[in-house]
Structure 1
Amino acid sequence: FVPGDAVLLSYFSCRACGTCARGHPAYCERGAQGNFSGARLDGSFPMRWRGEPVRSSFFHQSSFATHVLAHQHNAVKVPAAAPLELLAPLGCGFQTGAGAVLEAFRLQAGQQLAVFGAGSVGLAAIMAARVAGAARILAVDLSAERLELARELGATDTFLAGEPELTKAIRKRTRGGVDFALECVGSPQVLRQAFDVTRPLGTCGLLGLPERDAAEVSLPMTALLSGKRLVGILEGDADPKAFLPKLVALHTAGRFPLEKLVRLHDFEAINDAVHEMETRTAIKPVLRMHGGGTS
């Protein structure tokens, strides 16, 4: 990096542990400390107030600001002309959905994907599945408006959550189930639905964060014996250094239309942005700082 580089910020990884060395920095053995403790790996603090340490540095950055202290490991260089306001969310939610499809699943042309939850993560997964050439992309959500957007972004079939006999309908539509399913909500009930529509030898991925640490799901052991797999996926199992430039290139080529998901707000309108997020009236509100940065 040199002064003036345009960069995106993503999660931190140590780049030295065994998991990082195997190419899976999202599961860095020191990731929890580096991303959520508010301190550096050596225990020191990057910020102080009146001599006292401040536990900031969420994701090793805390970027709701015009200036950020970040580590080179979680900065990704992008072209100088890149539209940073649109690309800013790539480092977390969009990476999670798209990475699950392209990196964790490595979905191939002609395969089928079901996505439960048409928020920023799920819609990114749908766009990625279209890029990969999926034969059928099914979206499930509570909102008819979001399902309409899912179709615009590549979904071939849509279902309202809560629809009677939902899993039966999806299995019938897909002639026995999908190759891959994604749970993007964080609900044990929805995870069970996603698992149930996964065909034998298929893979169901959990992306959604549950509201409770103790959330549990019950699965039939006989279904696991059919070769089905259930996997948890963090950050799309993607390495931001390699994966984010690919997403930027797809956006530049018009194949990953982030402008359909992002709604921009000046920082003074942060309460409006939060309200849109809480009421699900916007997919991804993004704050513009007067200093030129985005969060």
Structure 2
Amino acid sequence: MEIKAAVIEKQGEDFVFEQLKLENPKSNEVLIKVVATGVCHTDAVARDMGLSPFPVVLGHEGAGIVEAVGDGVKSVKEGDHVVLSFASCGECENCLAAHPTSCMRFNELNFDGKMEDHTNRIHKHNHAVSTFFGQSSFATYAVVNERNVVQVEKDVDLALLGPLGCGIQTGSGTVLNKLKPEFGSTIAVYGCGAVGLSAIMAAKIAGCKQIIAIDVHENRLALAKELGATDVFNGAKVDAVQEIKKITNGGTNYAVETTGVPPVVRQSLHALKPLGVSAVVGVTPKMEFDVHNDIMAEGKTLMGVIEGDAVPKLFIPKLIDFYKKGLFPFDKLVKFYEFEDINQAFADSKSGAVLKPIVKIS
């Protein structure tokens, strides 16, 4: 079938709209009519750094309606509302242990540009176009593996739900699935973008006594306060480590680091109490640690977390339930754009003018 897609032809270029050919779903695959897609920082990284072969159709926070299913598909049917998440093999030891975010084939299935059977579903003039994250949702239609698809109830605006598939799942899942803070514990969140604010909302749900937000933008700190932060600090104006230790009697039990900025990663460790844990979810460049003083001497842990260590089919419905109960108001983070304005959506995301753009496809 013919589809309209926003294509990146070469590294660092803007999106251009093209008519492409999308093949029918094969066994265990689903054809989705895409309704809307979140804009994630990982899409920008893929555009600018070449995470997948070019040309590529990016987009990995899709939400849409099942149009058709291939042989063997059992979890969804035509007409179902769905959220699309990351690709995983479903067979390796990590997938079988309910950690598909650490799938042994994660990089291959999400970034190599092909489907699980090593073939392409998207073509331009008989030449392959790369699929991203097993979905490529910056298009009117997408073919995805059944494992990527999360059925959701129809009583919530489907256009709103796409970001649950990656960014919002990452922040909230890092708290609720990986750190699992004890009731009454303390946590600091570094960076109050969509991921960080999702972590703050999750920490409130978990019952953390002190939820400390650190950012350099006052408007983001104000929203963090509204969403559950008990204390906020502008890292450009104060010594965040010193201030955190002052109000927590020596440091926090947990930290979520979303910025990927090396000095801030160190702050997330330095502001922990002994035996504290910092979870890094941002793309971080090479950096140095004093392993003895920063980590070992006080029994601290620095861990990486991918996609909130979530099982999307279980976790995303829980987030929607929290949202419906007024406990997880992630709609306060978003702004909608028309498909034709996708380049503006990316520019606004980069400038910080918008926390979580969502592009309406149809």
Which residue in 1 is equivalent to 2:138? 64
Q: Is the Cα contact below 8 Å between 1:276 and 1:282 reproduced in 2?
A: yes
Higher strand residue share? 2
Does 2:289 match 1:218? yes
Which residue in 2 is equivalent to 1:264? 336
The CA deviation at 1:197 is: 0.7
Residue type matched to 2:84 in 1? L
Separation in 2, partners of 1:78, 1:41: 24
Deviations 1:37-83 (A, max 9, x none): 1112332112222222222x211001011211111111100002221
Does 2:299 match 1:227? yes
Q: Is the Cα contact below 8 Å between 1:192 and 1:217 reproduced in 2?
A: no
Does 2:189 match 1:118? no
Q: Is the Cα contact below 8 Å between 1:144 and 1:160 reproduced in 2?
A: yes
The CA deviation at 1:182 is: 1.1
**What secondary structure sits across from 1:54 in the alignment?**
strand
Which residue in 1 is equivalent to 2:125? 50
Residue type matched to 1:254 in 2? G
Separation in 1, partners of 2:338, 2:139: 12
Which residue in 2 is equivalent to 1:10? 85
Which residue in 1 is equivalent to 2:315? 243
**What secondary structure sits across from 1:68 in the alignment?**
strand
Which residue in 1 is equivalent to 2:158? 84
Residue type matched to 1:15 in 2? G
**What secondary structure sits across from 2:141 in the alignment?**
coil
Residue type matched to 2:350 in 1? E
Q: Is the Cα contact below 8 Å between 1:86 and 1:258 reproduced in 2?
A: no
**What secondary structure sits across from 1:205 in the alignment?**
strand
Deviations 1:111-142 (A, max 9, x none): 11100000000000000001111100000001
Separation in 2, partners of 1:121, 1:219: 27
Q: Is the Cα contact below 8 Å between 1:15 and 1:25 reproduced in 2?
A: yes
**What secondary structure sits across from 2:219 in the alignment?**
helix
Does 2:261 match 1:190? no
Residue type matched to 1:127 in 2? M
Does 2:276 match 1:202? yes
Separation in 2, partners of 1:117, 1:285: 17
Residue type matched to 1:221 in 2? H
Q: Where does the alignment leave 5 or more consecutive residues of structure 2 unmatched?
A: 1-75
State which drifts further: 267-276 or 171-180. 267-276
1:94 pairs, out of 162, 168, 171, with 168
Segments ≥4 residues shifted beyond 3 Å: none
Counterparts of 1:137-176 in structure 2, within 5 Å, are 137-176=211-250
1:41 pairs, out of 116, 141, 144, with 116
Separation in 2, partners of 1:258, 1:245: 14
Separation in 2, partners of 1:84, 1:155: 28
Q: Is the Cα contact below 8 Å between 1:113 and 1:138 reproduced in 2?
A: yes
Length, aligned pairs only: 286
Residue type matched to 1:278 in 2? K
CA RMSD of aligned residues (A): 1.2
**What secondary structure sits across from 1:209 in the alignment?**
coil
1:275 pairs, out of 343, 347, 351, with 347
Percent identity over the alignment is 40
TM-score norm. by structure 1 comes to: 0.94
Higher helix residue share? 1
2:180 pairs, out of 58, 81, 106, with 106
Separation in 2, partners of 1:162, 1:276: 22
Q: Is the Cα contact below 8 Å between 2:110 and 2:133 reproduced in 1?
A: yes
Separation in 2, partners of 1:220, 1:51: 52
**What secondary structure sits across from 2:150 in the alignment?**
strand
The CA deviation at 1:30 is: 0.4
